[in-house]
């Protein structure tokens, strides 16, 4: 029986779905969280504690485990575990993305740099250290702009600013958010934010699967509620997409090009794109 | 047979599971066993805990099935939203 390692943060709501899927596949399941399970001592071969914020240390720990309990695959659940999962898979010689590519996919500033280097359309963007004076930083951007943390999901901390006053307020709000105990960011993601030009237009979510570098789009979701800010909370997703077939094809192609630019080759993809008169 | 299985599940909870989850201020209560399906309720630090699903699926259910292979499924009937003191705070997103 193949053995699968699932990285499950204690903050995820997806445990049941992934565990049920593993059961349906008939794999032997090992679950790892960032905090100890109360039953870890009773089930040491099935419950692990790993530091998801230290991918190399997590890989070391899993390598020791796998020496006696070989693993066939590693799956990271939620944004927080992707880099640890990639490091572990790389260490064990399992199918996975390059950890550098995974890091670029998670860091919004590095992502913009990769996409721009590949000639893909991205808004003007700047990385701004949190230690900078926001009043001075506001002079270096054009409005309207959007400020956002480098590596959070679910639109947390994503704020539109139409002028300098709003920029300063948003900056302070993001700075406070990143200082919270329940926000687990390290490195540059904890020390800087991204400011980029606001992109008008409709927004879609692309769910796909990469297999040996080829992206198959599983679903394209329209987001019919306008997402113009100042906050971008998501409300309704609609699929199948109602967009014209030609637009859908351009969005799928843009998603595939972005994956290639980042160096991603394997695994599930969730991408969010905007579309307007200039295209994706 | 269901009564006998229920008794054996109860004993397993009392001797193996609850002593372990007590370390995080939690407890597990057996509600019923029907058609070889075990219905549990989690309380204390387990109720609303962010690790509750992992504890149940990868811990409690595995232990019960290893000891009692005739158990088909372990189901959680807990209202986790009503938990007042979860050991690990669950995520908001």
What pLDDT sits at residue B90?
A: 81
Looking at the structure, tell me whether residues A170 and A215 fall in a common domain: no
Looking at the structure, tell me whether residues A193 and A207 fall in a common domain: no
Does the pLDDT value for residue B92 go beyond 70? Answer: no
Q: Which of A80, A96, A112 is the last residue of a domain?
A: A96
Looking at the structure, tell me whether residues A88 and A14 fall in a common domain: yes
Looking at the structure, tell me whether residues A129 and A62 fall in a common domain: no
Q: What DSSP element (H or E) covers A21?
A: helix A15-25
Mean pLDDT of A223-250: 95
Whole-number Å distance between alpha carbons of A243 and A222: 8
Looking at the structure, tell me whether residues A181 and A241 fall in a common domain: no
Q: Flag whether A66 is in a domain.
A: yes
Which structural domain range is residue A215 located in? 202-275
Pick from A108, A184, A124: nearest CA to B93: A184
Q: What percent of chain A has pLDDT over 70?
A: 100
**Phi, psi (rounded to 5 degrees) for A37:** -75, 145
What pLDDT sits at residue A87?
A: 97
What pLDDT sits at residue A186?
A: 83
Considering only CB atoms, which chain B residues are within 8 Å of A46? 58-59, 62
Looking at the structure, tell me whether residues A232 and A188 fall in a common domain: no
Mean pLDDT of B4-20: 95
Q: Flag whether A10 is in a domain.
A: yes
Q: Flag whether A109 is in a domain.
A: no
Measured between CA atoms, the residue of chain A closest to residue B88 is: A10
B62 closest CB neighbour out of A12, A43, A156: A43
Whole-number Å distance between alpha carbons of A205 and A72: 30
Residue-wise pLDDT for A159-189, tens only, equals: 999 999 999 999 999 999 999 988 888 888 9
Q: Does B63 touch chain A (CB under 8 A)?
A: yes
For domain B2-82, give the fold.
GMP Synthetase; Chain A, domain 3 (3.30.300)
Q: What are the tokens at A60?
A: 């070391």
Q: Flag whether A259 is in a domain.
A: yes
Q: Flag whether A210 is in a domain.
A: yes
Residue-wise pLDDT for B50-91, tens only, equals: 899 899 988 999 999 999 999 999 999 999 989 999 999 887
Whole-number Å distance between alpha carbons of A102 and A242: 31
Measured between CA atoms, the residue of chain B closest to residue A29 is: B58
Looking at the structure, tell me whether residues A137 and A184 fall in a common domain: yes
Domains identified in chain A, total number: 3
Residue-wise pLDDT for A103-142, tens only, equals: 999 999 999 999 999 999 999 999 999 999 999 999 999 9
Q: Does A42 touch chain B (CB under 8 A)?
A: yes
ipTM over 0.95: no
Q: Flag whether A142 is in a domain.
A: yes
Q: What integer best gives the mean pLDDT of chain A?
A: 95
Sorted by sequence, the CB contacts under 8 Å of residue A280 that are 6+ apart come out as: A121, A250, A251, A253, A254, A273, A274
Q: Flag whether A112 is in a domain.
A: no
- What residue segments make up the domains of chain B, in order of their start? 2-82
CATH code of the domain in which A243 resides? 3.30.470.20
Q: Does A27 touch chain B (CB under 8 A)?
A: no
Distance from the A29 Cα atom to the nearest Cα atom in chain B, whole angstroms: 8
Mean pLDDT of A232-243: 94
Longest CA–CA separation in chain B, Å: 43
Whole-number Å distance between alpha carbons of A39 and A272: 38
Mean pLDDT of B30-41: 96
DSSP-based three-state secondary structure for A138: helix
Q: Flag if B51 and A39 touch (Cβ within 8 Å).
A: no
Q: Flag if A46 and B17 touch (Cβ within 8 Å).
A: no
Looking at the structure, tell me whether residues A146 and A133 fall in a common domain: yes
Size of interface A-B (CB pairs under 8 A): 79
Q: Flag whether A169 is in a domain.
A: yes
CATH code of the domain in which A61 resides? 3.40.50.20
Q: Show which of residues 4-33 on chain B sit within 8 Å of chain A, judged by CB atoms.
A: 16-17, 20-21, 23-24, 26
């Amino acid at each position: 029986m193949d053995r699968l390692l699932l990285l499950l943060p204690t903050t995820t709501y997806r445990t049941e779905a992934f565990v049920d899927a593993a059961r349906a596949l008939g794999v032997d399941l090992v679950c790892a969280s960032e905090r100890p399970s109360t039953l870890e001592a009773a089930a040491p071969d099935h419950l692990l504690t790993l530091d998801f914020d230290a991918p190399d240390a997590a890989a070391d720990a899993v390598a020791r485990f796998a020496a006696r309990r070989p693993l066939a695959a590693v799956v990271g659940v939620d944004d927080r575990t992707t880099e640890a999962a990639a490091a572990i898979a790389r260490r064990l010689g399992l199918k996975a993305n390059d950890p550098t590519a995974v890091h670029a996919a998670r860091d919004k500033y590095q992502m913009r740099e990769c996409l721009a280097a590949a000639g893909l359309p991205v808004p003007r963007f700047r990385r701004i250290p949190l230690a900078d004076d926001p009043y001075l930083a506001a002079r270096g951007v054009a409005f309207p702009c959007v400020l956002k943390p480098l590596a959070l999901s679910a639109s947390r901390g994503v704020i539109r600013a139409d002028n300098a006053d709003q920029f300063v307020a948003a900056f302070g709000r993001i700075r406070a958010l990143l200082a919270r105990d329940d926000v687990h960011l390290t490195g540059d993601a904890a020390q800087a934010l991204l400011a980029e030009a606001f992109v008008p237009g409709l927004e879609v979510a692309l769910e796909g699967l990469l297999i040996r570098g080829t992206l198959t789009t599983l679903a394209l979701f329209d987001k019919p509620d306008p997402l113009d800010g100042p906050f971008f909370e998501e409300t309704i997703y609609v699929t199948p997409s109602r967009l014209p077939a030609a637009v859908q094809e351009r969005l799928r192609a843009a998603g595939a090009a972005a994956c290639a630019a980042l160096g991603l080759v394997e695994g599930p993809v969730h991408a969010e794109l905007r579309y307007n008169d200039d295209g994706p | 047979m269901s009564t006998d299985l229920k008794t054996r599940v109860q004993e397993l909870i009392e001797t193996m599971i609850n002593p372990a989850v007590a370390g995080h201020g939690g407890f597990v209560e057996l509600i019923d066993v029907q058609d070889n399906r075990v219905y549990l309720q989690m309380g204390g630090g387990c109720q609303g805990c962010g690790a509750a699903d992992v504890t149940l699926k990868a811990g409690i259910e595995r232990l019960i099935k290893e000891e009692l292979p005739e158990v088909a499924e372990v189901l959680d009937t807990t209202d986790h939203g009503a938990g007042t003191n979860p050991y690990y705070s669950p995520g908001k997103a």
